[in-house]
Amino acid sequence: MDLVQFRQNVQSKLGIQLSSNQIENFRRYEEELFAWNEEFNLTAIRDRPGVRVKHFLDSLTCTIAFRDAPPARLIDVGTGAGFPGIPLKIVQPSLRLTLVESVGKKADFCRHVVNKLHLEGVEVLQARAEEIGQMPAYRERFDWAVARAVASLPVLLEYLLPLVKIGGRALAQKGESGPAEVQGSGRALQLLGGALRQVIPVNLPGVAEDRYLVVIDKVVATPAQYPRRAGAPAKRPLVLTGSG
């Protein structure tokens, strides 16, 4: 898939008409990703068509979930090399975006791209999600919290829901295990103040694996003890057989 095909897919699949400036931003983003990837392991995807489909287009599928509630302030947890947050910012310049990444080189890359593309209203935090979720400046401040390929859903919900204000939503981009992970997340939802809204199947061109957008409503405040200290959510997920 070249950038012309990428542009056509974004319009046909997502209803988004990319401007020439936005296409140029994706091109420059791609160039920086490949340049940095030669020295640092930012992504395992090292071919350009793969980046355009599995990173750029995949990130933009989040807009399907946003259609009835477009985000004004969004936090992307475990963003890695900026996915899905930076592609979403490119297509929605007014978005106030916070990127959270614990690995220093990946956070540095995100700052570099934000500066290179002259993206305004973007904050990059090098920190763990558990730390950010307990900070008053970020706790329950966002109308959307998103994450992609970070952890199993019960763990991910403990990262995301403390950041979402009541009435806001969390979005987890999941692979083919998505529906099964939803079935195992009832306890986490109950404890953290969330309720399942919908599970949206997503198809990417040339990608056989099923993908899903798991959308969660924030219905009540998250209890103060969540998220637990760094490492605890992954070690003791909030599932029926685990400890809280």
CATH of the domain at 101: 3.40.50.150
**Once rounded to an integer, what is the mean pLDDT over residues 58-66?**
97
Do the domain assignments include residue 34?
no
**Once rounded to an integer, what is the mean pLDDT over residues 28-50?**
89
Q: Is the pLDDT of residue 244 over 50?
A: no
Q: Which two tokens stand for residue 145?
A: 């919290």
Q: Is the pLDDT of residue 160 over 50?
A: yes
Beta bridge partners of 172: 147, 214
- Give the chain's domain count: 1
Do the domain assignments include residue 113?
yes
pLDDT at 241: 55
Share the mean pLDDT of the chain.
94
Do the domain assignments include residue 24?
no
| Rounded Cα–Cα distance for residues 60 and 55 (Å) | 9
Using pLDDT thresholds of 50, 70 and 90, give the confidence band for residue 185. very high
| Rounded Cα–Cα distance for residues 132 and 30 (Å) | 29
For the chain, helix (H) and strand (E) counts, in that order, are 12, 7
Sheet containing strand 73-77, strands side by side? 122-125, 96-100, 73-77, 142-148, 164-174, 211-218, 194-202
User: What is the per-residue pLDDT across 205-225, written as a single tens digit (0 to 9) for each?
Assistant: 888 888 999 999 999 999 999
Do the domain assignments include residue 49?
no
| Rounded Cα–Cα distance for residues 77 and 60 (Å) | 16
DSSP summary character for residue 119: -
Task: State the pTM of this model.
Answer: 0.95
Using pLDDT thresholds of 50, 70 and 90, give the confidence band for residue 243. very low
Using pLDDT thresholds of 50, 70 and 90, give the confidence band for residue 101. very high
Using pLDDT thresholds of 50, 70 and 90, give the confidence band for residue 130. very high
**Once rounded to an integer, what is the mean pLDDT over residues 4-28?**
95
Do the domain assignments include residue 136?
yes
Which residues does 233 contact at the CB level (< 8 Å), separation at least 6? 130, 151, 155, 158, 159, 227
pLDDT at 207: 85
Q: Is the pLDDT of residue 3 over 80?
A: yes
Do the domain assignments include residue 85?
yes
Burial class (CB in 10 A: 0-12, 13-18, 19+), 172: buried
pLDDT at 149: 75
* Boundaries of domain holding 93: 65-235
Do the domain assignments include residue 118?
yes
Do the domain assignments include residue 54?
no
